[in-house]
Structure 1
């Protein structure tokens, strides 16, 4: 499994959706709606995450005629993917956290 995926803000948005509920299967259009990303952004990210083993996909098990729509590709985050995503998102959050500023005391000086 490749662990050195570049977690950009757009990748982070998709990972965050998966981490909200590790057990919840997701499909591409749903991820596009939840993140506001177009298909040309979301699907390449999903492909990268799948190649790295962070997520897995399968065809939805429905009869298209009965469902009235084509089968969807369903994505789920793997346990290793969830662990790595959590670590990467924490690092990304830390990188964008503003520096702490000293607080002024009422008598002057800093804490």
Structure 2
């Protein structure tokens, strides 16, 4: 499903947005976003790039010397104020691929409400 913003609301995109919205003003580096979304890095980072391209995310590289830190620099992401609102709206309007199944809206076990 493609939204007017141009963002495809795939299940992985929805998972990333939900993870970011858990603490919408907190910065998270890529691996933290992966953990919050329950998805691998190769899935999450392209989504983060698309969200940033749409202006939903802001990012920055941390100021650390990788040799001193003993690890690569981290890129931190956070929802922009407009991005947080866009994410909430997009998630509220997203249709699950299961929505077309008979009884979806009536079956609480499948996520529907009675």
Give the TM-score taking structure 1 as reference length: 0.77
Offset at 1:65? 3.2
Q: Which residue does the alignment assign to 1:56?
A: 58
1:6-85 equivalences in 2 (<5 Å): 6-85=8-87
Structure 1 36/94 Cα, relative in aligned 2: closer, same or farther at 3 Å?
A: closer
Where has structure 1 moved over 6 Å in runs of 4 or more? none
CA distance in 2, matches of 1:69, 1:25: 19
CA RMSD of aligned residues (A): 2.3
Give 1 or 2 for the bigger CA radius of gyration: 1
CA distance in 2, matches of 1:28, 1:94: 25
Gaps of at least 5 residues in structure 2 are: 108-114
CA distance in 1, matches of 2:12, 2:51: 12
Moved more, 57-66 or 77-86: 57-66
Is 1:3–1:84's contact at 8 Å kept on the other side of the alignment?
Answer: no
Matched residue of 2:89: which SS? helix
Matched residue of 1:61: which SS? coil
Offset at 1:94? 8.0
Is 1:99 the equivalent of 2:105?
Answer: yes
Gaps of at least 5 residues in structure 1 are: 102-111
Is 2:15–2:38's contact at 8 Å kept on the other side of the alignment?
Answer: no
Give the TM-score taking structure 2 as reference length: 0.75
